[in-house]
Amino acid sequence: MLIQFVRGLLIFAAGLSTSFGMETPHNILVLGGTGRLGAEIVASLTTAGHPVTVFARPNSDRSRLKDLSVNYIVGDLLDGSGVLAELNGEKFDYVIDASARGPSNDPFYSDVMKNILTALQVREVQQFILHGSIGAGNSADVFTAAMYKRMRKVMQAKTEAENLLIQSGIPYTIIRNGVIKLDGTAATGTAVLTEDATKMGTVTRPDLATLTMQCLGVENCLNKTFHALDASWESDPGY
């Protein structure tokens, strides 16, 4: 059943070609750009010729980006005044948030979103792409009660981050993932997006980067929340 469902989604993926100006380079800010997913996205963006700025902590490991031509803004996303100061005078056409944190009960995701939106509030951002998690917002029922209980604090923070972005007035795209394959797993090229919040699946980081590029500057993706799926992993025991 999932194979048939995902095949149907390929029609949707093919329809993500209605862009509004990505033929020319655009200044793009990437949060979490030194991380495993963020680095894949940054590589895709630079390959496409876009000027990329990565917001990174002073002690961030930049090794994943060592061969890429990127600019850096150094700061701490949890320091609201610092984020505001570091972004003062900067203008970005697009913002991609791939920031992540290990298991924690603090409101990292919502705090980061508050800080970055405050810094961007007077800027003309054409699209803000947020990489979130299945289990946030209207997808909480995808998890069993026991699973959700273990992740409740994180999902609450991610839900608040989504809501803050939606309410900001900035055109947004939220891409939620479920299970991500181990670092280094090659792309399949068959990952797709669905607006069905009851679906959960497995996906690779390179494929998530590809889905990001497919939605960058695309009208059909604006002000929508998607789940990333890949039929290649439908029998994956991780979900």
pTM for this prediction: 0.89
The 3-state DSSP class for residue 14 equals helix
How far lies 226's CA from each of 72, 93, 124, 199, 222, in Å?
A: 29, 22, 24, 10, 11
Q: How far apart are CA 232 and CA 234, in angstroms?
A: 6
DSSP state of 176: E
Angle at 137 between CA 134 and CA 141, to 5 degrees: 65
CA-CA-CA-CA torsion sign (72, 88, 77, 221): negative
CB 153 within 8 A of CB 105: yes
Q: How far apart are CA 168 and CA 117, in angstroms?
A: 7
pLDDT of residue 198: 94
Q: How far apart are CA 83 and CA 88, in angstroms?
A: 8
pLDDT of residue 204: 97
Nearest in space to 155 (alpha carbons), one of 179, 135, 178: 135
pLDDT of residue 6: 41
Could you tell me how many residues make up the chain? 239
CA-CA-CA-CA torsion sign (220, 174, 116, 69): negative
pLDDT of residue 44: 97
Task: Rounding to the nearest 10 degrees, give the CA dihedral for residues 37, 42, 43, 45.
Answer: 130
Per-residue pLDDT of the chain (239 residues; tens, 9 = 90+): 444 444 344 434 444 544 544 666 789 999 999 999 999 999 999 999 999 999 999 999 999 999 999 999 999 999 999 999 999 888 999 999 999 887 666 799 999 999 999 998 767 899 999 999 999 999 999 888 887 888 889 999 999 999 999 999 999 999 999 999 999 999 999 999 999 999 999 999 999 999 999 999 999 999 999 999 999 987 665 54
Q: How far apart are CA 194 and CA 77, in angstroms?
A: 30
Q: How far apart are CA 116 and CA 39, in angstroms?
A: 19
pLDDT of residue 122: 64
pLDDT of residue 22: 61
pLDDT of residue 23: 65
pLDDT of residue 235: 65
